[in-house]
Structure 1
Amino acid sequence: MSKVMDTQNCFHCGLDIIKEDEIIFDNKSFCCNGCKTVYEIFSLNDMTYYYDFEKSPGATPQDIKGKYDFLDNESIVAKLLEFQENSTAIISLNIPHIHCSSCIWILENLQRLQKGISTSQVNFPEKKVRITYNPEVVSIKTIVYLLSSIGYEPYISLENYETGNNTVDRTLTYKLGVAFFCFGNIMLLSFPEYFEVKEYWLDQYRGFFRWLIFALAMPSFLYSASGYYVSAFKSIRSKMLNIDIPIALGIVVMFVRSAFDIIMDYGSGFFDSLTGLIFFMLLGKMFQIKTYSFLSFERDFKSYFPIAVTKINTDFSEESVPIYDVEKGDRLLIRNQELIPVDGILISEKAEIDYSFVTGEAVAIEKKSGDKVFAGGKQIGKVIEMEVLHSVSQSYLTQLWSNDVFQKNVEQKHKTITDQISRYFTPILLLIAFTSFGYWIFIDANIAFNVFTAVLIVACPCALALTAPFTFGNVLRIMGKQKFYLKNALVIEQLSKVDTVVFDKTGTITTNKKSNISYEGNLFSEEIKVLIKNALRGSNHPLSRMLYDYLPEAKKLKVDAFEEITGKGIMVQIDNHQILIGSASLVKIIDNNSIQQTSVHIKVDGQYYGRYNFNNQYRDGLEQLFSTLKNQYQIKVLSGDNDGEMETLEQLLPKGTELVFNQKPEQKLEFIKKLQQEGRNVMMVGDGLNDAGALAQSNVGISISENVNVFSPACDAILDATEFQKLNYFLQLSKNSITTIKMSFALSLLYNIIGLSFAVTGNLLPLVAAIIMPLSTITIVSFVTVMSSYYACKK
């Protein structure tokens, strides 16, 4: 303990300290033992950087002893967890106190405070923290008490977790209602002043009406506009200028000037304009929030993956159904490398599940019949069957896809432009406002105050800040409706920069649905056909799926062992029979086929039988698509197959298209890397199975989906196979969206210049400025919506 510092505010939470309750520790003042304890925790763990982001950012920890004893109940904890497997569990907690950069920093460094926590990620807009921890080392109860001890007590409601219903914050609605009530009544009481009525009764009660107007203005000034004062104060305290500073300053100046007029009996002041200003600004904010919510809903709703899963019907037939049609109690078939889209119970004898998409750990976990399997795992090995416990969660799959682990480092150019403009906007705006006030005060004091307030209000850069997010949001929605699903808005910018397009062949420019298959070799017995059909059942390769569909129905056999060798084929064991299906190198034969073509070779129990030859069917519109792309892009085609179809492709594709055959997955990745080293901006289009490395390496990776539940988080976009011929259209739409952003930037700046020119010359009243400000937002949102929709309609 040492000498008391001069400050009378708590170093941790910023609250005023009653002198007799003051606690001094480490030359700092604290309002209570709770705040002091939090500071001690941070000091002992070398985490006092927390206080560098914002002054007094913390909250006073509450005494919650016994409050969370229900977390000792494992069945309750199981309902709260998103994922639980051996030494890994994941939970998302609502933290209402999250409010600044300090909060984000401390909550994303929880692993330094508690052993057993591996990672924690903050979702700032939703005020949530997603914690991955080891339940064998630390319990969820301990984590909750830790959060509470440092001032971040979580809000836990089982009803909210089970139904998804979150409490709605209606504060803005209440403030808007109060502002409207005050504004409407003040306008009515001000009519005699407007028309300068000289009746005896008015002269007698003029003072009474003015003081009544003053009283009505107080709730609007103190309550409805309070958000602007708080935001401005926090901005100044953190030494960062935001746009709420000039707005708050304008409101305060108008109030002080109006109060002075009434007190000195100079007039009725500007309370009508003041309350109108507050009402219309809150109305504009309400509009922005509602619009953002709408776009967010559209994004969440449309962001499901166009992936199908194989459902086993009651008659044991198999059919592909969209994952969002899967219901509780359904029986699903999961093949090698397929994503488990829902939580369920394993029916098969055993399975190996790779949860690296969820946990980051690539070690496969063995499951036995009756065990619970979680959504997000990837099946490895032979085919398995499972029963669905819950319907599919699209938001969970979206979260999986958008995991930071799979994000590419891309430059957020337009976000940076907006931030830079907003950073310099406020000081320039304040300079213009004070200069204009200084000029007019010597000419007309009334005009000076009007000019000062109008300048502060009319030049709000809200519209400027909305251009990029609204444009990208609308384009995401438009593309989603046309079955092109992007991971995030930044992919649009990356698409606009593409100059080289690389296509995989099998399953990408060829379709899995149509193929002319012929057999060449020794005749099969029925037993061998049944073995081949069952061996193919577990594979997801496009050729395997085509051959599986081509062969006649057969009884289901138990698969004892299954291994899929990427780029070569499959090795399967069924009832002591060993089946090899794949390339010539896999079955160890020399293929001297004079007419080279795509083939799958068959070998059973060491005996080579022959091969199935595939005359691939190319996608509809392929020739026209390549012809259009050739005008603006370099086109390359990579294939893991031999060059048997080179002649067909050369006739089908534009002259100069580079064709590369016999490419293994790692060679495809190196091919992409080489192009990038040459300065090319590469878009890779693949089927997501053998192309995961190349998709991850490319600037933009697009996975084609055709009724196959193969999930590749490395890709940036998923394109429904039926919309393949629209690829050039999507590329042009992304370029046009960047053009739309630039035009909306120009429009927003033009609006601010015109508004300021009227304001500084005294030709714009503050009330009119307050009405124009939300109108500018509406204009920008309407403009980007109309322009992006216009470009979307252009062929």
Structure 2
Amino acid sequence: MSEHTCFHCGDDCSKTVIKFDQKTFCCNGCKTVFEIFSTHDLSCYYDLQSAPGAIPEEIQGKYDYLDTPDIAEKLIEFKDGNTQIITLYIPHMHCSSCIWILENLHKLQPAITASQVNFPKKTVRITFNSDRVSLKALVVLLNSIGYEPYISLDDYTTGKTQINRSLIYKLGIAGFAFGNVMFLSFPEYFEVSEYWLEQYKHVFRWLMFTFSLPVVFYAAQDYFISAYKGVRSKILNIDIPIALGILVLFLRSTTEIIFDWGTGFFDSLTGLVFFLLLGKFFQQKTYSFLSFERDYKSYFPIAVTRIAIAKHKKERKEENIQVYDIKKGDRLLIRNGELIPVDAILIEGDAQIDYSFVTGESESVTKQSGDTLFAGGRQLYGAIEIEVLKSVEQSYLTQLWSNDVFNKDKTASFTNLTDTISKYFTITILCIAVLATSFWLFVDSSKAAQVFTAVLIIACPCALALARPFALGNILRIFGKTKFYLKNADVIERLAKVDTMIFDKTGTITTTITNEVTYEGMQLTPEEESLLKNTLRASNHPLSRTLYDILAEQDILTLDEYHEHIGKGIEGKLEEDTIKIGSANFVGQNINSEIKDTTVHISTNEQYKGHYVFHNQYRKGVKKVFDQLSEDYKLAILSGDNEGEKEYLKKLLPKNTSLLFDQKPDDKLNYIKSLQQHNQNVIMVGDGLNDAGALAQSDVGIAVSENVNVFSPACDAILDASKFDTISVYLNLSKKAIAIIKSSFVLSFLYNIIGLYFAVTGQLSPVIAAILMPLSSISIVAYVTVLTNWSGRKLISK
């Protein structure tokens, strides 16, 4: 850093020089920020990038409006007690150091519990304690460290997002300059030697130079910035060879016209930038379309129970609806363990809400009738009824599901294909360019600059960078269209690497819709039947839902107590009567070895009454699915039920299928962990309820959704139960997608090898290279899109 350059923001401070800690600052604001960082052990911020901060502006009184409760209410997306969450748009966010400091805000302000950056959208989602820091103080803090948020109440009230039109402006300028430079180059192309060319050729050349200036210093600035940041971070990113190619073209062309050596390559330069930006625009538009179509097809196939109340308020009808059909004013039933999909008011029941999916805090909160409940909370105690305040926002649930908090363990050791290859690509190209240029300096120095330029241009890694996002984006669209919903594109790569598959039994390979249920035991009194029905009403377990549906209608009563013991059963209390529903051991009964089917036992007031026998109906195509999977995967069934159907499953499933019964949730998790310790990649397929731990532990967790709200951030994918028989097709398509990406890499490398041959031998002019490069990118995108669509035709036709 120069002694006249501000250590924090990098601006010239020759007029006002403030010395502190042997460093130079341009103002007290930058000095204060440095002091804050130093005091909170954040001075390594400056190791990421020299002078990364923006100069803090005068902010006295600027954010006073945030102290107005009505205005703050519009900005806050979550508020429960003293915990609030807000998402702010940060225009100054531009690099790795920005991400680092914004995700370490808790070190600057202890009242901030978490901050998560979404770099593509330039937003930061901040969770903070409103009793210890106000919204205004939070925004002032961001401003003081150089990250002033852009706040527009119109955007928050109308739901509009910030549209970045800079790419369109840059594309327009590059296209305008390219067209004019080509026009001015026509006399040189056709070697016109008349008087007017000799008279005006210098004017034409300097006009071309003038047109190239905004192209290089504005339209192409993102490539220079990205390359510079990569060098500063000691990372050879894929923009370095592009930036070098542009810079070499500009310097060489400028040198030629200054010394009257020739007309230069301004046509190649402006054409290169134009086609690069055109390819980026094409990628942006196409990928946005794919993402939109994926979201539009109902990203979450979860449902919720809506309560329809007749005019006399005596007749109540419960119906399952998709979450996107929820409307303001609807009355919803949220059972134990279910996710609250919308902001609502608690109408009836005892609410114990776990907001850990939203805030990261594991401590639950108690709510009473009339309190506001926010989307993303999970009910932990019985059933409650709520009235909807807002319709569901798919984008919010997507954000909740994709929260990195629930994915860190799986992504920590995962490196995708592009990252694996690209880190070797740049250094290889740079070595080839240097070696080829060195060779021509000795053989024919007049060709050296042309060779260096052509190598950097023709070896542009755009095609390499585009192949994976377009291929996997299209696969995500196909999967979503056929009711298989993935958290992100990385899940596809993990699916392709799996070698072991674990299945839960009840609610996963069996269906709870067509079960035949019989009762054996003592007759239940009307009071006991009512207590049984109302206790089952609060549970979301597949067997509970089946039993609830077949029992006679009863008056809906609010239980005094309700507890669900995962893997064992449920118990409820109303006044003096108690009931237990679950396994034989749970209700205090010795297991009858003669009973081979799945059973649910009942005891009231500590007296055993009897049991319901479920004659399980297995899903359509179970045998075929397991037969297909057994050819490529190790298979296992982990069930919490008894061994009643073990012999039947041995006959139904392939011989190499492992069968384990009486498995508690911890047993399933530990079993998967033991497989992973032996270097096996595991898929866990469960119902998303009792299998949350196993789903989270597995390399890929798939929750099978029937007609209940079983969404859990622990899973990586949600499969509609009607598509269970196509699991093998999804897995095969994942493998084909990776094969397509690899083949596109091969094509890209072949293109580069052929192009490099002509470039290194001095036979390739930069203008031809500038045209061929974006065409190769577009052809790669077309290649992977066509092949993934063709591979997915079988799935779509089903």
Please, what TM-score do these two structures have when normalized by structure 2?
A: 0.93
Deviation by residue 1:467-486 (Cα, 9 ceiling, x = unmatched): 33333322222222221122
Deviation by residue 1:82-103 (Cα, 9 ceiling, x = unmatched): 2221232211111111122222
Q: Which residue of 1 aligns with 2:378?
A: 378
Aligned counterpart for 1:17 among listed residues 13, 20, 24: 13
Q: Which residue of 2 aligns with 1:39?
A: 34
Cα 1:652–1:53 shift into 2, 3 Å: same
Q: Which residue of 1 aligns with 2:780?
A: 780
Q: Which residue of 2 aligns with 1:55?
A: 50
Cα 1:572–1:427 shift into 2, 3 Å: closer
Deviation by residue 1:280-308 (Cα, 9 ceiling, x = unmatched): 22222222333343344345445722111
Aligned counterpart for 1:190 among listed residues 160, 185, 188: 185
2:210 maps to 1:219? no
Deviation by residue 1:676-703 (Cα, 9 ceiling, x = unmatched): 3444332221112222222222222211
Q: Secondary structure at the match of 1:585?
A: coil
Aligned counterpart for 1:168 among listed residues 163, 168, 179: 163
Single out whichever of 112-121 and 661-670 deviates more from structure 2. Answer: 661-670
1-side partners of 2:496 and 2:20: how far apart? 56
Deviation by residue 1:397-433 (Cα, 9 ceiling, x = unmatched): 2222222332253467884664464344444433433
2-side partners of 1:251 and 1:658: how far apart? 60
Alignment of 1:305-316 (within 5 A): 305-315=300-310, 316=316
Q: Secondary structure at the match of 1:151?
A: coil
Q: Which residue of 2 aligns with 1:696?
A: 696
2:235 maps to 1:254? no
- Alignment length (residue pairs): 790
Which amino acid in structure 1 is aligned with residue 285 of structure 2? K
Q: Which residue of 1 aligns with 2:3?
A: 7
Which amino acid in structure 2 is aligned with residue 13 of structure 1? C
Q: Is the 8 A contact 2:597 2:616 kept in 1?
A: no
Which amino acid in structure 1 is aligned with residue 329 of structure 2? G
2-side partners of 1:711 and 1:666: how far apart? 20
Q: Is the 8 A contact 2:294 2:481 kept in 1?
A: no
Cα 1:366–1:251 shift into 2, 3 Å: closer
Q: Which residue of 2 aligns with 1:533?
A: 533
Q: Is the 8 A contact 2:416 2:490 kept in 1?
A: no
Aligned counterpart for 1:276 among listed residues 261, 267, 271: 271
2:146 maps to 1:148? no
Q: Is the 8 A contact 2:350 2:381 kept in 1?
A: no
Q: Which residue of 2 aligns with 1:550?
A: 550
2:98 maps to 1:103? yes
Q: Which residue of 2 aligns with 1:118?
A: 113
Alignment of 1:479-518 (within 5 A): 479-518=479-518
Which amino acid in structure 2 is aligned with residue 494 of structure 1? R
Cα 1:186–1:634 shift into 2, 3 Å: closer
Which amino acid in structure 1 is aligned with residue 324 of structure 2? Y
Which amino acid in structure 1 is aligned with residue 357 of structure 2? F
2:466 maps to 1:466? yes
Q: Is the 8 A contact 2:308 2:318 kept in 1?
A: yes
Cα 1:63–1:631 shift into 2, 3 Å: same
Which amino acid in structure 2 is aligned with residue 181 of structure 1? F
Q: Which residue of 1 aligns with 2:313?
A: none
Alignment of 1:49-88 (within 5 A): 49-88=44-83
Structure 2 runs not aligned, ≥5 long: 311-315
Q: Is the 8 A contact 1:558 1:575 kept in 2?
A: no
Q: Secondary structure at the match of 2:774?
A: helix
2-side partners of 1:142 and 1:350: how far apart? 36
Single out whichever of 736-745 and 215-224 deviates more from structure 2. Answer: 215-224
2-side partners of 1:234 and 1:703: how far apart? 41
2:632 maps to 1:632? yes
Q: Secondary structure at the match of 1:320?
A: strand
2:451 maps to 1:456? no
Alignment of 1:743-762 (within 5 A): 743-762=743-762
Q: Which residue of 1 aligns with 2:738?
A: 738
Q: Secondary structure at the match of 1:587?
A: coil
2-side partners of 1:245 and 1:51: how far apart? 22
Q: Is the 8 A contact 1:95 1:154 kept in 2?
A: yes
Which amino acid in structure 1 is aligned with residue 246 of structure 2? I
2-side partners of 1:663 and 1:372: how far apart? 38
2:722 maps to 1:722? yes
Q: Is the 8 A contact 1:415 1:468 kept in 2?
A: no
Deviation at 1:260, TM superposition (A): 4.0
Deviation at 1:668, TM superposition (A): 2.4
Q: Which residue of 2 aligns with 1:597?
A: 597
2:614 maps to 1:618? no
1-side partners of 2:744 and 2:625: how far apart? 31
Please, what is the CA RMSD of the aligned residues? Answer: 2.5
Single out whichever of 357-366 and 87-96 deviates more from structure 2. Answer: 357-366
Q: Secondary structure at the match of 1:313?
A: strand
Cα 1:564–1:184 shift into 2, 3 Å: same
Q: Is the 8 A contact 2:291 2:477 kept in 1?
A: no
Q: Secondary structure at the match of 1:155?
A: coil
Q: Which residue of 2 aligns with 1:655?
A: 655
Q: Secondary structure at the match of 1:58?
A: coil
Q: Secondary structure at the match of 1:539?
A: coil
1-side partners of 2:626 and 2:109: how far apart? 56
Deviation at 1:46, TM superposition (A): 2.2
2-side partners of 1:45 and 1:595: how far apart? 65
1-side partners of 2:199 and 2:107: how far apart? 72
Deviation by residue 1:149-172 (Cα, 9 ceiling, x = unmatched): 111111111222233322322222
1-side partners of 2:229 and 2:571: how far apart? 64
Q: Secondary structure at the match of 1:317?
A: strand
2-side partners of 1:211 and 1:691: how far apart? 70
